[in-house]
Chains A and B, each alone.
Chain A
Amino acid sequence: SQELEQSPQSLIVQEGKNLTINCTSSKTLYGLYWYKQKYGEGLIFLMMLQKGGEEKSHEKITAKLDEKKQQSSLHITASQPSHAGIYLCGADILSGTYKYIFGTGTRLKVLA
Chain B
Amino acid sequence: GAVVSQHPSRVICKSGTSVKIECRSLDFQATTMFWYRQFPKQSLMLMATSNEGSKATYEQGVEKDKFLINHASLTLSTLTVTSAHPEDSSFYICSARRQNEKLFFGSGTQLSVL
Q: A103–B46 Cα gap in the complex (Å)?
A: 11
Main secondary structure of the interface of B (DSSP, over half): strand
Q: Tell whether, in the assembled complex, residue A102 and residue B44 are in contact, meaning their CB atoms are under 8 Å apart.
A: yes
Q: Tell whether, in the assembled complex, residue A105 and residue B93 are in contact, meaning their CB atoms are under 8 Å apart.
A: no
User: From B10, which residue of chain A is reached at the shortest CB distance?
Assistant: A40
- In chain B, positions 78-107 with a C-beta closer than 8 Å to chain A are 91, 93, 95, 97, 102-103, 105-107
Give B contacts to A, CB under 8 Å. 34, 36, 38, 40-46, 49, 57, 91, 93, 95, 97, 102-103, 105-108, 110
- 16 CB-based A-B contacts, threshold 8 Å: A33-B102, A39-B41, A39-B91, A40-B110, A42-B93, A42-B106, A42-B108, A43-B93, A48-B102, A90-B103, A97-B49, A99-B46, A99-B49, A102-B45, A103-B43, A107-B41
